[in-house]
Amino acid sequence: MNSRIYFDHSATTPLDPRVLDAMAPFLGGAFGNPSSLHREGRMAREAVEKARAQVAALISAQPEEIVFTASGTEADNLALIGAVRASGKPGHIVTSAIEHAAILETCRFLAESGAKITHLPVDAEGIVRTDSLLRALQSNVTLVSIMAANNVVGTLEPIEELAHLTKLHGVLFHSDAVQAGGKIPLDVNRLHVDLLSLSAHKLHGPKGVGALYVHKNVKLSPIIFGGGQERGLRSATENVAGIVGLGAAAEIARQELESDAVRLAQFRENIALELTRQFPNCYVFGHAVHRLPGHLSFGFRGQERELGGLLSALDAAGVAVSAGSACSAQHSGEPSPVLLAMGYDAESARGLLRLSLGRFNTEQEVERFLEILPQAVASAAHVPRNSAASALTAVAAQ
Ligand code: PLP
């Protein structure tokens, strides 16, 4: 009963032991370069291509539509910068106000080189408004990029509807599915997306490897130049062990996604019910139905400034949770831009605690968390403001 409870799977997930087993040979004896023609090289190539097929199967894509990258961030950069560069124009990106920094900062970079950026508003539950997308599509747009699931509040966006509308206007659609991959079913054909980003470490795979789905008719320009690996879209010797890990993680997720989702949604429901029962001032952020199964973001009305103390108290009691807000905002002690975009006032937007559960969490852990919580809340009230702020800063992983 002394072991820690890890409830921060939106920041990163522990490696599934089956993924580690799949990777192990490629961290040892099977060290070949997939571009080499000898037996060692051919073995590595075979492993990379198997992983490509596994990742493709997770999202119902063709293997040749998967480009391996070094992260979800890089997949997002390649999608946006690659589409704008391929268009041969300064470009116009339409995105939402609540995207991850991997999208927002890439947009900022593109704006510096002359691109127009439109940020669509969201409603109080974090859903991108279709009417605002329709209005934005009246002008010349290069690409629409909307995340599949929000990393702060867990809301799922209506990607199928938004992408369908976008396609009717002949515009490319990208979705950052880093938080959604392996947690909810994703079928690129049904969703009508042209580009979709994934990251291995969010689905019990290794850190430092991601993938971009690129529909076979989509023209992208590379953003990294060199030996022409990954069909010229991502030069560099492949991270074979990492790619094998992503492939294995995708395969396991495809098989276990449904049962994981049912179990995690039930855990989340139990925690949410208990929280609102024990603490009348507790309020839950995000959409009530359209949300990630194991994700729960909440605050306490009137105690927004004590949440950093609560995070520290939980950590000291053996539970890892997150502040779930943008890094920059927490450094400056500012309210979360995601909550502000959802219409929360500056004070309510200051405090948010994010619990994100994963495959290896158990019912006993949920029960133990609910036992620990009241004491942690009580002690949080006594934590001085400064240490609360630094606790928030320290855990601002997305
Ligand atoms: N997009 C979203 C929605 C994320 O939550 C994250 C990571 O937290 C990323 C992109 C970046 O992924 P990576 O950590 O693989 O660069």
100 lines ligand 1 (CB under 6 A): yes
d(CA 49, ligand 1 centre) in Å? 24
For tokens 């950590």, the residue is: 315
Q: What is the mean pLDDT of the chain?
A: 92
The Å distance, Cα 155 to ligand 1 centre, comes to 15
Cβ(322) to ligand 1 under 6 A?
Answer: no
The verdict on the CB of residue 99 being under 6 Å from ligand 1 is no
With a 6 Å cutoff on the Cβ, whether 45 touches ligand 1 is no
| Centroid of ligand 1 to alpha carbon of 103 (angstroms) | 9
At residue 390, the pLDDT reads: 39
For residues 389 and 350, what is the distance between their CA atoms, to the nearest angstrom? 10
Q: What is the pTM of this model?
A: 0.94
Third-level CATH fold of 17-253: Aspartate Aminotransferase; domain 2 (3.40.640)
Can you give the pLDDT at residue 387? 41
Q: What is the pLDDT of residues 215-262, one digit of tens each?
A: 999 999 999 999 999 999 999 999 999 999 999 999 999 999 999 999
Ligand 1 pocket test target in 179, 201, 203, 322 with most atoms within 8 Å of CB: 179
- 327 belongs to the catalytic site: yes
96-149 pLDDT tens trace: 999 999 999 999 999 999 999 999 999 999 999 999 999 999 999 999 999 999
Task: Tell me how far the alpha carbon of residue 14 lies from the centroid of ligand 1, in angstroms.
Answer: 15
Mean pLDDT of 358-367: 97
| Predicted local distance difference test score (pLDDT) of residue 225 | 98
Ligand 1 pocket: which of 10, 73, 106 to mutate (most atoms within 8 A of CB): 73
So what's the pLDDT on residue 250? 98
Domain parsing of the chain, residue ranges: 5-13+257-397, 17-253
Q: Are 245 and 200 in contact (CB under 8 A)?
A: yes
Q: Is 5-13+257-397 CATH 3.90.1150.10? A: yes
Atom in ligand 1 nearest the alpha carbon of residue 149: 3
Least confident of 195-204, 292-301, 343-352: 343-352
Mean pLDDT over 189-193 rounds to 97
From the candidates 327, 370, 372, 394, which is the catalytic residue?
327
What's the pLDDT score for residue 398? 59
User: Using one digit for the tens of pLDDT, what is the confidence trace for 66-78?
Assistant: 999 999 999 999 9
Atom index in ligand 1 nearest the CA of residue 398 equals 8
| Residue 361 CB–ligand 1 contact under 6 Å | no
Contact assessment for residue 151 and residue 398, using Cβ atoms and an 8 Å cutoff: yes
Q: Roughly how many angstroms between the first and final C-alpha of the chain, as a whole number?
A: 28
Give distance in angstroms: CA of 302 to centre of ligand 1.
Answer: 31
Is the Cβ–Cβ distance between 232 and 80 less than 8 Å? Answer: no
Nearest to 79 by CA among 63, 64, 95: 95
Residue found under tokens 């969490």: 361
> Ligand 1 within 6 A of 210 CB?
yes
Residues near 171 by Cβ (< 8 Å), separated by ≥ 6?
A: 137, 141, 142, 143, 144
Determine the atom of ligand 1 nearest the C-alpha atom of 74. 16
73 Cβ inside 6 Å of ligand 1: yes
Measured CA to CA, the distance from residue 303 to residue 81 in angstroms comes to 41
Decide: residue 168, CB within 10 A, 0-12 exposed, 13-18 middle, 19+ buried: exposed
